[in-house]
Amino acid sequence: MQNILIACKDGLSGFPQVVRAVYPETHVKLCADLKAVYSAASEQADRDALDEFAGIWDSKYPMIYQSWVGYWEELSEFFKYPPEIRLTIDTTNAVQSLNYQLRKVTKNRSSFSTDNAILK
């Protein structure tokens, strides 16, 4: 691989630094469960949604807002792209669903005649 345009991660410490050490031009985007924030139409709307989220949840989970603010550069990375591209960047659910289906099928090895059949 020669280059990575965008890398998505979810809570893996040190990931942005490692990716950028090998691929310095890579944009790193965090994946999180704050869909209202990610579905905002602009970076300002995103920040407003984050502040609204904090108003509701900050008393119970103050580290969420602090974490978002601390990683704002990575979190807001995808707003540099048009909405059509942002939809393809935020593919966590589709990828996770596919991985789940593959694990479900390959977990039951008796479904395959040999170990090599899994690889095919």
Domain range for 112 is 91-120
> How remote is the C-alpha of 84 from its chain's centroid?
17
Full pLDDT tens readout for the chain, 120 residues: 888 887 877 667 788 898 899 999 988 876 675 777 777 888 899 899 999 989 988 888 788 788 888 988 888 888 888 887 777 776 555 666 667 777 777 676 555 566 666 555
Task: Give yes or no: residues 77 and 97 share one domain.
Answer: no
**Structural tokens at position 75:** 């979190």
DSSP state, residue 115:
H
Q: What is the pTM of this model?
A: 0.53
Helices (H) and strands (E) in the chain, counts: 8, 2
The answer to whether position 64 is within a domain reads yes
The answer to whether position 1 is within a domain reads no
Task: Give yes or no: residues 76 and 102 share one domain.
Answer: no
